[in-house]
């Protein structure tokens, strides 16, 4: 299966009504974009970019000084689209419904901050309706070699040992866009409580401590959402 994943970061002027219409548009694509085999989407469970806006810009650690701190907040909305092959993804990219939904999303989100990864996985769609997905996209440091990259991804796979975790998938980007992130970590848990326990736990902290030195950690894109299987 080929999955296209995108995380969106809202503009400061977003309204609850616009947020809702965005979610409706994402769901609509499952039925109107014929090449989509499965779709998952959702809003961040832990405040998204509202957390960032609660701190005045001059009091935030800027991204260019946050290599060890990480991003100032989670992203706001995640979209996961599955295709049988690259031809399906190409057809989606040419679809008028996709363009219409994308134009609306660009009007309420920050297009230049959208995080994207195209990645492959085997088996049935990675969607467990009603369960919680924690996912992160990373960008490699310019000086990270292949062995360092593989070691970092192996560390990420260690999250499968956490008692809260149902499934972990780690995959490199296969997309061609210069703006794509380099790899993704996709974690499934049973519910919000277990997702929060995982993120607050020692194992997650150990994994991120290993991943941070070989990535541009300040640009990491994170989100947690309830999965909607379609």
Domains of the chain by range and CATH? 2-226 (3.30.70.100)
pLDDT band at 202 (very low <50, low <70, confident <90, very high): very high
Structural element, H or E, at residue 41? strand 38-43
CB 183 within 8 A of CB 225: no
pLDDT digits (tens, 9 = 90+) for 166-186: 999 999 999 999 999 999 999
CA atoms of 67 and 215, how far apart (whole Å):
8
pLDDT band at 69 (very low <50, low <70, confident <90, very high): confident
Instruction: List the strands of the sheet with 2-8, edge to edge.
Output: 38-43, 77-83, 2-8, 115-120
CB 203 within 8 A of CB 161: yes
Q: Is residue 7 packed enough to be buried (19+ CB in 10 Å), middle (13-18) or exposed (0-12)?
A: buried
This prediction has a pTM of 0.95
Q: How many CB atoms lie within 10 A of CB 165?
A: 20
For residue 218, pLDDT over 80 is answered with yes
CB 38 within 8 A of CB 124: no
Compute and round to an integer the Cα radius of gyration of the chain: 17
pLDDT digits (tens, 9 = 90+) for 10-52: 999 999 999 999 999 999 999 999 999 999 999 999 999 998 8
Provide the mean pLDDT of the chain: 96
Residues in the chain: 230
Number of H helices, E strands in the chain: 7, 8
Q: Of 220, 225, 161, 175, nearest to 26 (Cα)?
A: 225
For residue 230, pLDDT over 80 is answered with no
Q: Of 45, 102, 39, 48, nearest to 228 (Cα)?
A: 39
CB 75 within 8 A of CB 224: no
């Amino acid at each position: 299966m080929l999955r296209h994943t995108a995380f969106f970061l809202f503009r400061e002027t977003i309204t609850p009504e616009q947020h809702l219409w965005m979610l409706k548009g994402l769901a609509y694509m499952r039925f109107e974009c014929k090449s989509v085999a499965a779709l998952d989407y959702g809003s961040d469970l832990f405040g998204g970019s509202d957390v960032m806006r609660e701190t005045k810009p001059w009091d935030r650690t800027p991204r260019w000084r946050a290599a060890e701190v990480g991003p100032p907040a989670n992203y706001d909305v995640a979209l996961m689209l599955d295709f049988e092959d690259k031809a399906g993804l190409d057809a989606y990219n040419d679809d008028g419904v996709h363009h219409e939904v994308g134009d609306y999303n660009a009007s309420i989100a920050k297009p230049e901050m959208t995080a994207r990864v195209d990645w492959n996985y085997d088996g049935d769609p990675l969607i467990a309706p009603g369960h919680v997905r924690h996912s992160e996209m990373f960008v490699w440091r310019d000086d990270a070699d292949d062995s360092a990259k593989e070691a970092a991804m192996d560390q990420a796979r260690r999250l499968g040992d956490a008692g809260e975790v149902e499934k972990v998938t780690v995959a490199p980007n296969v997309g061609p866009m210069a703006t794509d992130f380099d790899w993704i970590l996709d974690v499934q848990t049973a519910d919000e409580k277990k997702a929060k326990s995982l993120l607050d736990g020692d194992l997650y902290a150990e994994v991120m401590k290993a991943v941070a030195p070989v990535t541009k950690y300040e640009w990491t894109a994170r989100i947690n959402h309830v999965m909607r299987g379609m």
